[in-house]
Structure 1
Amino acid sequence: MKEVFISAKNTREIIEQIQQSIGGEIIDSFGKSRLVINNNVAKGTIRVVTFDWGVNLMIFNITFYDEITLKIKATEFNPVRFIYNLKGEFYHRFGINSHEEMVEQFQTLITTNKIDGFDYLKFKKDLELDINIIQIIRKDFLKKRTTKVSSLNKKLQNVFVDTDYENRFAHYGALNLKMANLVKRLHNVKAKGMVKILKMEAKVYDILSLHIQDYNKQSQGVALPTSLVKSELKRIRQLGNKILKDPSRDYNLDDLSAECGLSQAKLQDGFKFLFTRTVTEYIRHVRLESARELMRTTDLNISQIVYSIGFTSRSYFSKIFKEKYGVTPNQFKKEMVSKVSEDAI
């Protein structure tokens, strides 16, 4: 086992201190720093992106070949960390505790420490990790005009205004599969330079909002559907992604239930929990969103689009499209053509 001591004044120093302990090369480019490691200790990257108002991001895409523990001292740089575990697992504890809490795949953790306290993050060896950490520097973040911590749950509000770092806080969240899609999009932003930073920042705030919503729900006692276990929810999420990628298939409840090995009642419970829609509503939503995107990006006519996404009736499609978006498909298509013409002038 290898222990890495971190006593950093900023996020960049965190990866510098990790580099000093386990090696690798730091590459800087336009507001981003990346520690690249490929040795007998680890293989992968730890990325750092700094935004305005005390918000920064760390992304661990790495496999450690030895058990690694980060021993993080709470210095004057003592952020609130909003952690989402997209892949793998890790363990967290405060220095005053001997008991470790496991943070499993798709689970969240919100944590911060008292000044001069220690956080321990332990990573098992030979386990592929994909971990997203949003760090909020409270003194800077509270200066932002749109920051209104008074609207937060009282406990979380107290965490944000504790700029003297007098209290410890840890919240081990429930399984959150909705956040997985947001985190994946963040990790796969394709733009370059300033455009990439701006796109990433927008997604970071979306994820931060979901962390806060998740905390509020659990504080109010909102739990997972009692009819489902976590492994079943993961199967339902995979099914939802399959529908998203191929909306034109002729889906029905019997086939979907057989495909994921769950009863129709469990399937409905899972879709309502993960996507806030029934199975039928979700399929319809995905098809309408796909149709709208095709109208934006292709020259296909309405009839071609209707049948390419799995609808069999153009009149039904037009009816539900207007109900959802407030305009008919023809009106929307004309608006897109008009916008393209204006942009070309």
Structure 2
Amino acid sequence: MDSFNEDTRSIFSDTNGENSFYNESRFSIRTLNLIQRIIAKKSSSFTDALLIESKLNEILYNRLTLFSNKKVHLRKEYALQSHQKEAVMKASQFIVDHLDTYENVSKLAENFGINAVTLQNGFKKFFNKTVNEFVILARLEKARRLFEATDMTIGEIGFDIGITSKSYISKVFKARYGLTPRDYRNSRIKTLGFY
């Protein structure tokens, strides 16, 4: 293990499986050929078992060599099952479609049959945001579109996106877009030539 880099050693020293690690890379043609040879072997003789074991060891060797020679950034990753991935994606679409009625992470997770931690981990994985960060950005994006395309008041837009405080809308809108909602709308009107 001395020849492994620190990241690789950390994986193999975790003998209790307390951490999960994720590394994504492609298989080489050589590795693909080895896998195909293993799959093609139909016999169950002792020598065939040895051959399969040796090919698996060769694949492991190739992957470890590739992994050890690269400066790989390992990130701890929460593994999601397929139904959890689907729930996260449906929850994100629900948020976008129902900004005015979104309540909280726990309620959202319950509605989609997963727990709040799994939902948060899924949003971090797919969107690199917490659920609440995602909600705020979705609300701001919808508000921006409404300020551009309609003459709705800030109160009406706030109602439509689920934020009742006009001052809060102005504050977060300005933090995101660099202008207050009124200034943003006025700049868009000038840009489009309505003045």
Normalised-by-shorter TM-score class: 0.5 to 0.7
**What secondary structure does 2:36 align onto?**
coil
> How far, CA to CA, are the matches of 1:290 and 1:256 in structure 2?
20
**Partners of 2:108 and 2:155 in 1: CA distance:** 27
Equivalent residue, structure 2, for 1:338: 190
Q: Does 1:329 align with 2:195?
A: no
Q: Structure 2 counterpart of 1:321, which letter?
A: F
Structure 1 residues 250 and 221, CA gap change in structure 2 (3 angstroms): closer
Segments of 5+ residues of structure 1 without an aligned counterpart are 1-81, 83-92, 101-218
Q: TM-score, normalised by structure 1?
A: 0.35
Note closer, same or farther for the CA distance 1:95–1:273 as it changes in structure 2 (3 Å cut). Answer: closer
Structure 2, gaps ≥5 residues long: 1-25, 27-31, 40-71
Q: Which has the higher helix share?
A: 2
CA distance in 1, matches of 2:35, 2:116: 47
Map 1:129-278 → 2, pairs under 5 A: 220-222=73-75, 224-226=77-79, 228-278=80-130
Shift of residue 220 of structure 1? 3.0
Q: Is the aligned partner of 1:303 residue 2:152?
A: no
- Alignment partners' CA distance in 2, 1:236 and 1:251: 16
Cα deviation for residue 326 of structure 1 reads: 1.2
Alignment match, 1:319: 171
Kindly report the root-mean-square deviation, in angstroms, between the aligned alpha carbons of the 2 structures. Answer: 2.7
* TM-score, scaled relative to structure 2: 0.60
Which segment drifts farther, 288-297 or 261-270?
Answer: 261-270
- 2:155 and 2:164 in contact (8 A); partners too: no
Q: Does 1:97 align with 2:97?
A: no
CA distance in 2, matches of 1:96, 1:287: 48
Shift of the 263–333 alpha-carbon distance from structure 1 to 2, 3 Å rule, reads same
Change (3 A) 1:286 1:301: same
Q: Percent sequence identity over matched residues?
A: 29
